[in-house]
Amino acid sequence: MATTGSKSALFVCLGNICRSPIAEAVFRKMATDAGVVDKWRIDSAATSTYEIGNPPDHRGQACMKKHDVPMKHVARQVTKDDFMSFDYILCMDESNLSELNRKAKAVKNSSAKIELLGSYDPDKQLIINDPYYGSDEDFEKVYEQCVRCCTAFLKMNS
Ligand SMILES: N#Cc1ccccc1-c1cc(NCCCN2CCCCC2)c2ccccc2n1
């Protein structure tokens, strides 16, 4: 049950072990540092079933430790209820976006705003690419993009 003035954001990617748990953790730290985390429901999820029950990728964990951002998550797949209960569903690439819009069509009263997280990037990098087959550098790029986008998103919703 949402209280007055509360908002909610669900970060989504393909497997919910690389990009979306990083985005969730970065946003939660920013909201905490801004003193508003209690006004937010923050979570992340996958479009796929690939990694359900698994922790974040070890490369992402190493990146977040390097930046002193707490990250603790167990991968889950997005549910029909998510489309009704979150204000924002923020995803990483066009494949996530089309998959989410397809799933939303099967939900009677889907009210979430489904957007690319990259649409908030002041550097206009619209897509946050999947680092699964990539390097530590690719995870660092995901982190930097999430910092820029989450900063703008929080500012816009404060
Ligand atoms: N798919 C793709 C893909 C395409 C391009 C770049 C990355 C990926 C890619 C592949 C993954 N797991 C390997 C394939 C999984 N199996 C696919 C067939 C069904 C049974 C599961 C990922 C796992 C977690 C997070 C991101 C991932 N991303």
- pLDDT 10s digits, 92-117: 999 999 999 999 999 999 999 999 99
ipTM of this complex prediction, to 2 decimal places: 0.97
Q: Does the annotation count 130 as an active-site position? A: yes
Instruction: Taking residues 141-156, report their average pLDDT.
Output: 99
How far, in Å, from the CA of 31 to the mean position of ligand 1? 31
pLDDT tens digit sequence for 6-54: 999 999 999 999 999 999 999 999 999 999 999 999 999 999 999 999 9
Give every CB contact of residue 126 below 8 A, 6+ residues apart in sequence.
116, 118, 119
Q: How far is residue 59's CA from residue 135's CA, in Å, rounded to a whole number?
A: 8
Q: Kindly give, in sequence order, each residue whose CB lies less than 8 Å from that of residue 133, ignoring residues fewer than 6 positions away.
A: none
Confidence of residue 5 (pLDDT cuts 50, 70, 90): confident
Q: How far is the CA of 18 from the centre of ligand 1 (A)?
A: 11
